[in-house]
């Protein structure tokens, strides 16, 4: 048995690997959006606490700021279970697609925020999406990746920011 015969089953055409990288890149776009969501609070809370707050209801208190910052974690707690169930019942692609609508809703709430409750809802929804991102994306990537590129594709999630 020659070297060629033993490697026949493990050979992956170059075009197939290119498509795997492309699929991983597209799948990880939602993680970039989630990274922006994570970072949004840091500079925004300073503005929201100031007298120049863009909220029509006025500036927010320190306690309200702490809720804005922490509600993502509570949303993620629910998102993990929800999106784990969705991806098991309907598949990873449907699960990933279902991450987009809550993201749009959450950012719309930020754009049109009238008071701090809009921001609370937005952060909880974004946390919910984040819970889904860390459940669905790694599983999807491990399912589409060949052994040769699985490690590289799996590492893309960490590079989101």
Residue percentage of the chain with pLDDT more than 90? 57
Contact 76, 131 (CB under 8 A): yes
Mean pLDDT in residue range 126-150: 89
- pLDDT for 161 equals 46
Phi, psi of 2 (to 5 degrees): -85, 175
Question: Which tokens is 69 given?
Answer: 């910052």
Q: Is the pLDDT at 153 greater than 70, yes or no?
A: yes
- pLDDT for 121 equals 97
Q: Is the pLDDT at 133 greater than 60, yes or no?
A: yes
Residue 81 CB contacts under 8 Å (≥ 6 apart), including other chains: 131
- pLDDT for 13 equals 52
Query: CA 4, CA 13: separation in Å to the nearest integer?
Result: 15
pLDDT digits (tens, 9 = 90+) for 11-41: 555 458 888 888 888 888 888 888 888 889 8
Q: Which CATH class is domain 15-160?
A: mainly alpha
- pLDDT for 46 equals 93
Helix (H) or strand (E) holding 139: helix 116-144
Q: Is the pLDDT at 139 greater than 50, yes or no?
A: yes
Q: What letters, b where the CB count within 10 A reaches 16 and e where it falls short, cover 109-140?
A: bbeebeebebbbbbbbbbbbbbbbbbbbbbeb
């Amino acid at each position: 048995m020659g070297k060629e015969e033993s490697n026949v089953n493990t050979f992956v055409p170059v075009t197939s690997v290119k498509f795997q990288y492309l699929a991983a890149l597209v799948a990880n776009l939602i993680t970039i959006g989630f990274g922006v969501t994570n970072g949004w609070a840091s500079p925004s809370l300073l503005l929201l606490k100031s007298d120049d707050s863009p909220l029509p209801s006025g500036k927010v208190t320190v306690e309200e700021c702490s809720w804005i910052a922490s509600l993502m974690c509570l949303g993620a707690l629910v998102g993990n279970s929800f999106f784990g169930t969705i991806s098991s019942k309907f598949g990873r692609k449907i699960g990933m697609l279902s991450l987009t609508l809550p993201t749009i809703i959450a950012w719309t709430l930020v754009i049109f925020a009238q008071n701090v409750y809009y921001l609370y809802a937005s952060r909880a929804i974004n946390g919910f999406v984040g819970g889904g991102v860390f459940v669905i994306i790694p599983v999807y990537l491990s399912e589409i990746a060949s052994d040769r590129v699985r490690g590289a594709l799996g590492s893309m999630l960490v590079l989101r920011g």
